[in-house]
Amino acid sequence: MCGILGVVARSPVNQMLYDGLLLLQHRGQDAAGIATCTGRSFAMQKGNGLVRDVFRTRNMRALPGLSGIAHVRYPTAGSASNGEEAQPFYVNAPFGLTLAHNGNLTNSAVLKDEMFRLDRRHINTDSDSEVLLNVLANELQANASGVSLDPQTIFKAVTVLQQRVRGAYACVVEIAGYGVLGFRDPHGIRPICYGITETEAGTEFLISSESVALEGLGFRFVRDIEPGEAVFIDLDGNFYSQQCAPVSSLNPCIFEYVYFARPDSVIDGTSVYDARLKLGENLAENVRTAWNRGDIDVVMPIPDTSRPSAMQLAMRLGLDYREGFIKNRYVGRTFIMPGQAVRQRSVRQKLNAMSIEFRGKNVLLVDDSIVRGTTSREIVQMAREAGANKVYFASAAPPIRFPNVYGIDMPTRNELIAHGRSDEEIRIAIGADALIYQSIDAMKRAITDAGPRVNRFEASCFDGVYVTGDVTPEYL
């Protein structure tokens, strides 16, 4: 999962892109990068680490220009430690292109081979994003006439790209001397939207993974980029859009609503916060049916993502709501940290249990989901050490039993605690006195109720259905 930005403005964009990356830092803490453009020349700074660590004052001064793109990354294809795989990626021909990509390609190995054998293009890293950039570059070169480039030629290149590429992708691309391009895969798996702001010098455009970055930077949200659609903003501020896929459908990744996106974002017409409230409501009904509420003294969230669901669940069941865990906000999100050992070590650094809230109580802990079980097991143990009498555990999402191949770091079944285990076996593994999950239907219904525009989802990690239709058992 990554965060992307693309901007065409009337004043220098380096600070805007930096501030935007801070607003999207939750989407990736492994690497960050900014590329700006002046005339036909790019300036770029990227590296491993948080946004605040990658960019210093001297780096910001070296990023001139009124347009640019930016990226925060956590790895799903390639290496977490390879600084060469930080984005944006750059290729010099044709025209000069930089690209930032959120998602994961399912046919990148085939494309990489085709790039070498048929298109004579060398891919220097293991990143599928570099493959995607070179596919686009090749199609632009094939469709352009001489050194001129117009929106229709760009959209034609994206059309051919969508015929060749499989998987999930939301991208921003800057074409040196021409403008910024944004496009989304035909299934609409990864989020991308754009907004505008009016200045004395003219209209400015910002493309972003989430609406929260638009609002935080003073832009007015216009709309989401549709599945299969491409938009292009030239350097004069002219906006163009075209549907580039003959067949498209909206299937947003349901895990965006469950965990990844910020609660103050709106994705494809659905408020993430409202979706999480409704997940809590549906989970409350499940708890009401399965358990005796009289056995529960207090409801507590696992900070931060599960807070709306836990609050709503407590309200629906008429139970006390307490904040028993205090979060150290200077430790990253453990789910997106590279490596199981790092994730496990970070749990206790990130959370501290207040014994005053736990001592002698039967506690219902609510989390957004249980992925590997690392965090859940440590938290249950921490609650017991803080004096809890009994520790019940509720997940606002169903069991995650299948790998995700569209940009979430769940590459193998063996990493998933729910794979091959019953709910009772999972309960034993995490050490809880009782465990309850949201059902798949209730999860989907909650998000549809929050935003009726979305009625289909990419929910493969829960239901094993891969919407692109090209994921085989051998691939998994």
Under 8 Å between Cβ of 419 and 402: yes
How far apart, in whole angstroms, are the C-alpha atoms of residue 154 and residue 428? 55
Mention every residue, 6+ apart, whose C-beta is less than 8 A from residue 173.
6, 69, 97, 98, 99, 100, 133, 136, 180, 181, 182, 183
DSSP summary character for residue 186: T
Strand ranges in 268-324 using DSSP code E only, listed in sequence order:
270-271, 298-301, 320-321
What amino acid occupies position 313?
Answer: L
Which is nearest to 101 in space by CA: 124, 67, 78?
A: 78
Distance CA 429, CA 230 (A): 46
The neighbour count for residue 164, using CB atoms within 10 Å, is: 15
Nearest one of 151, 212, 203 to 182, comparing CA atoms: 151
Catalytic residues: 2
Please report, as a single letter, which amino acid is at residue 153. Answer: T
**Single-letter code of the amino acid located at 326:** I
Task: Give the DSSP letter of residue 225.
Answer: P
Helix axes 128-143, 108-117, angle to 10 degrees: 50
Q: Which amino acid is located at 318 in the chain?
A: G
